[in-house]
A and B are shown apart, each in its own frame.
Chain A
Amino acid sequence: MSYHSFLLEPISCHAWNKDRTQIALCPNNHEVHIYKKDGNNWSKIHVLKEHNGQVTGIDWAPESNRIVTCGTDRNAYVWTLKGDVWKPTLVILRINRAARCVKWSPKENKFAVGSGSRLISVCYFEQDNDWWVCKHIKKPIRSTILCLDWHPNNILLAAGSCDFKCRIFSAYIKEVEEKPAPTAWGSKMPFGEVMFESTGTSGWVHGVCFSDSGNRVAWASHDSTVAVAEGGKTAVCASLTSETLPLLCVTFITENSLVAAGHDCYPVLFVYDSNKAAMSFGGKLDVPKQSAQKGMTARERFQNLDKKATTDSKEAVLESVHKNSISQISILNGGKAQCAKFCTTGMDGGMAIWDVKVLSIVKHVRVQMQ
């Protein structure tokens, strides 16, 4: 478990390259900075300047080594490495509000951008015109799309939106792929078809994630709940209300367990039991600092009572590793099936890398490996 403080500003978004030696992040401005791991330090090797507005989403395609970024200037750029320089290609998204999130599809021939224009732009490369073209998914989205995740079959796309719903859409583009095989979510998948729409939870959906097999989708919403839906003849939903502040990002680390993090500044583990279709809280995953337990003198106690009206000796300092909300979580290795390490970045400008094995031993937390 390691923590590195990159900046004083929040890290808006981040993405790792294939071998996890480089990280691209946005330091809450119009640029993207790429850092390279140098022993125990990180050195900035590239600065990507093209956007006119804050960069809200970055995704790095592992195989083709291309970076796609999207920002509040309503544009997206696809960056390719030519020699030692990253060259941008503009993608016209045809949106009239800010772009909020972007994700490469598993086969890296398409990417999807969620925006405040209440639509998702699915972009693919048209070989004849040498140009990125986009198609829109509009119905029945009623508000900003906050988060996206692709199904492993490269066709289905889960989207969490500010209209309090998590939906699974089909993003099948006939120009670049063949008809897909039936999945747990349905068999007819024309472009823009809604395969699943959530009910039951209220609150903006901040984070959404497909499991490794694609049969389950999890989402975290602003009413402090986490829910998992399993595809099938009728989709089965299980949700869990929590006693903490809302969670902002969620990811599967095995087929049955999820890690989520948010405004409480520490990651938490949830376990999903498919037999009972129920979720349970697995434990806090933070490693607490060993604070010296000093006794309070009577004078200190009286001072506390006078100043803070409490005899509690707890200081008003966060004990977690991150000192501010965690906004993004990404899997480093192991994939979503057997994740061994994951990384969190947050509004405190820091990045923490968490080792699942170490956490399970330290916290006696059971991570069900399937």
Chain B
Amino acid sequence: MAKNTLSSRFRGVDIDEYDENKFVDEQDEAAEQQGPDACEVDHLIRQYPSDQWDMMTAFHIALRNPPINSKNPAVKERAQVVVLRVLTAFKSSDIEPAVKSLDKNGVDLLMKYIYRGFEKPSDNSSAILLQWHEKAFAVGGLGSIVRVLTARKSV
């Protein structure tokens, strides 16, 4: 046996590319998945903490139009930044009513953004995200976390 059977660097051809039975993901149209409107959200955040309801609206707007089908990483990144800004601007006591105001799909979407936020921790983000995680987990349960892990189209 040749000495080089351990390393596969000698392989020049990626045979998986030529396998006709290879699983190829369905191509979904990216369409109008532009992500949430940053300006509107900014404006509403600035009004906080004078008006609590503005914060809720900012929250809902941030979670609207998630760029799930988009293949453009810039769109996803932009959406993530907007959502993170809204989440960090919340006061701890307001987190629970905000989570309660979401429906099932909203809670799943929030979990997806929270885990996306965990991927790139910045100075204060992890602590806030953990608070959001605790409240979202109380509503969504283990199922919402499983759906983050098994989602094929993610934010």
Contacts and interface: CB of A to CB of B under 8 A. Distances in A.
Contacts of B143: 224, 241-245
B26 to A, nearest CB: 10
Interface stretch (B36-44, B123-131, B144-152): B144-152
A224 B23 contact: no
A202 B152 contact: yes
A241 B108 contact: yes
A242 B140 CA distance: 8
Contact of B146 (A118, A143, A164, A246): A246
Contacts of B1: none
B142 A243 contact: yes
B141 interface: yes
Interface size class of B (residues with CB under 8 A): 10 to 19
Interface centre among B23, B144, B147, B151 (most CB of A within 10 A): B147
B68 to A, nearest CB: 11
B27 interface: no
B100 interface: no
Contacts of B151: 202, 223
User: What is the predominant secondary structure among interface residues of chain A facing chain B?
Assistant: loop
A223 B146 contact: yes
B8 interface: no
B45 to A, nearest CB: 30
Interface centre among B141, B146, B147 (most CB of A within 10 A): B146
Interface in B11-52: 21, 23
Contacts of A142: 21, 23
A225 B108 CA distance: 13
A203 B146 CA distance: 10
Contacts of B140: 243
Interface size class of A (residues with CB under 8 A): 10 to 19
B142 A245 contact: yes
A286 interface: no
Contacts of A202: 150-153
B141 A243 contact: yes
B146 A224 contact: yes
A183 B137 CA distance: 43
A211 B146 CA distance: 27
B20 to A, nearest CB: 12
A244 B141 contact: yes
User: What is the predominant secondary structure among interface residues of chain B facing chain A?
Assistant: helix
A246 B148 CA distance: 13
A244 B142 contact: yes
Interface string A234-249: 0000000111111000
Contact of B21 (A118, A222, A225, A246): A118
B104 interface: yes
Contacts of A143: 23
Interface in A234-290: 241-246
B146 A222 contact: yes
Interface in A132-160: 142-143
Nearest to B21: A118
A118 B19 CA distance: 14
Contacts of A245: 142-143, 146
Given A118-B21, A143-B23, A163-B23, A243 B150 contact: no
A108 B144 CA distance: 41
B78 to A, nearest CB: 24
Nearest to B105: A241
Interface in A163-190: 163-164
Nearest to A245: B142
Contacts of A222: 146, 150
Contact of B104 (A164, A241, A244): A241
Interface string A210-246: 0000000000001111000000000000000111111
Nearest to B108: A241
B139 to A, nearest CB: 8
Nearest to A162: B23
Nearest to A138: B21
A203 B140 CA distance: 18
A192 B131 CA distance: 51
20 contacts: A118-B21, A143-B23, A164-B152, A202-B150, A202-B151, A203-B150, A222-B146, A222-B150, A223-B146, A223-B150, A223-B151, A224-B142, A224-B147, A241-B144, A241-B147, A242-B141, A243-B141, A243-B144, A244-B143, A245-B146
Given A223-B146, A244-B142, A245-B143, 15 more contacts: A118-B21, A142-B21, A142-B23, A163-B23, A164-B152, A202-B151, A202-B152, A222-B150, A223-B150, A223-B151, A224-B147, A242-B143, A243-B141, A243-B143, A245-B146
